[in-house]
Structure 1
């Protein structure tokens, strides 16, 4: 399954602003195994996972006021997301980062890095995260619509839900452990990441 990123508008069959029932309708062959609270600070942020099987999440969708504002694609079971013909899903992180930095040097994209080192482009509503697989780390695109793109690469001030920032940091930071590290005190209260 291949999906094209339409910056700030949507990805594949999903358009930002869609209600939950429309999202489910345009994902034939996928089931909804669960819904969850996606962010401790914004209790109204609903996460809905879609997958091809019970243990195979493919796409996480996020809603505010019942409208789609963020999509994250699983690196193993999700669709291959492309931007201008360049694959974004399940890539070697350094290779995709070189692509982004080349576009930055050519003044095509304005690449920025969030506090935890994840690259992205606010102007595209795109952040690139990593996901651990058997062979190492691969890329996992996270995308938001126009209304939520401002500072989307900033994991402290942007609109991407907190649960999307939990896990492995971008590999260039030299860190190999997950965030938050064991014993780290968060301000999450009783909220726990769903993954």
Structure 2
């Protein structure tokens, strides 16, 4: 059970790492950073939770995995491993009854300061049919995960330093909280020639050629600075990705010191319908 701003299950905000391990029946943090040294975090693989610690080495946040974390409940609402739309609707109904505000976090999922909840979603995983070659594969559904925090982080959980050291989402494009799927009759029809082209885009195009082929300017651009010589500091800014919201694709560029950016297009939600073919259509 979640006790908002107090704790979840056997964990209480303010615990130190030893107390957390003891509360989790001696669980070991198999993946960690700065654990026991003040600000840091530890992922308890066997329990499906990540504990985040503040500067005083006290527990300030608990992240619950979608696939193998505990099934946390808030009142009569199951928060974990469920369709995001169902959890969102139930949280909004409860918040309305309790006169509590619901906001959207960086991923477009519900965030409720009064309860220290920031929801998320992950691709559901499952195993193939029984047999000697069983392996994990992605399923066709998304299921919920959650970041649960104490009072000091409740206002902006993912913008706080302890949480950002565990999962830094500052470079992630913010999601508006909707899934804008364009109607099929409004989509362009593109042919895909494997390893050569998709629609009007050819692998190897330069950014200017990509924009010209799509007939629109990039909505957003992402890049990085190369490292120059020690006495020069940062080198030239290098473009790595262009997003074209009208067409519904993003172009990813490979570049280096000896060559300009070259592109590899990929569709995102609401983009064109790609059809595989042996050659590009005329």
- Please indicate, yes or no, whether the TM-score normalized by the shorter chain is above 0.5: yes
Q: 1:172 to 1:147 in 2, by over 3 A?
A: closer
CA distance in 2 between counterparts of 1:168 and 1:91 reads 24
Report the aligned-residue RMSD.
Answer: 3.1
Alignment of 1:109 with 2:106, yes or no, is no
**Residue correspondence of structure 1 range 38-187 to structure 2 within 5 A:** 45-52=39-46, 58-64=48-54, 65-134=56-125, 135=139, 136-152=141-157, 155=158, 157-158=159-160, 161-162=163-164, 163-164=166-167, 166=169, 172-174=177-179, 184-185=222-223
Question: Is contact 2:107–2:177 with CA below 8 Å preserved after alignment?
Answer: no
Deviation beyond 4 Å, 4+ runs, structure 1: 165-172
Task: Give the drift of 1:147.
Answer: 2.1
Question: Is contact 2:32–2:43 with CA below 8 Å preserved after alignment?
Answer: yes
CA distance in 2 between counterparts of 1:125 and 1:70 reads 9
- The structure whose Rg is larger is 2
Q: How many residues align?
A: 167
TM-score (norm 2): 0.52
Question: Is contact 1:34–1:49 with CA below 8 Å preserved after alignment?
Answer: yes
CA distance in 1 between counterparts of 2:20 and 2:167 reads 19
SS of the residue 2:66 aligns to:
coil
CA distance in 1 between counterparts of 2:176 and 2:123 reads 11
Per-residue CA distance 1:73-120 (angstroms, 9 max, x = gap): 111111110000211010100000111221233344311112442211
* Larger RCO (alpha carbons 8 Å, 6+ apart): 1
SS of the residue 1:23 aligns to:
helix
Q: 1:120 to 1:143 in 2, by over 3 A?
A: same
SS of the residue 1:173 aligns to:
coil
Question: Is contact 1:150–1:158 with CA below 8 Å preserved after alignment?
Answer: no
TM-score (norm 1): 0.73
Q: Comparing 133-142 with 82-91, which one deviates more in the overlay?
A: 133-142
Question: Is contact 1:100–1:109 with CA below 8 Å preserved after alignment?
Answer: no
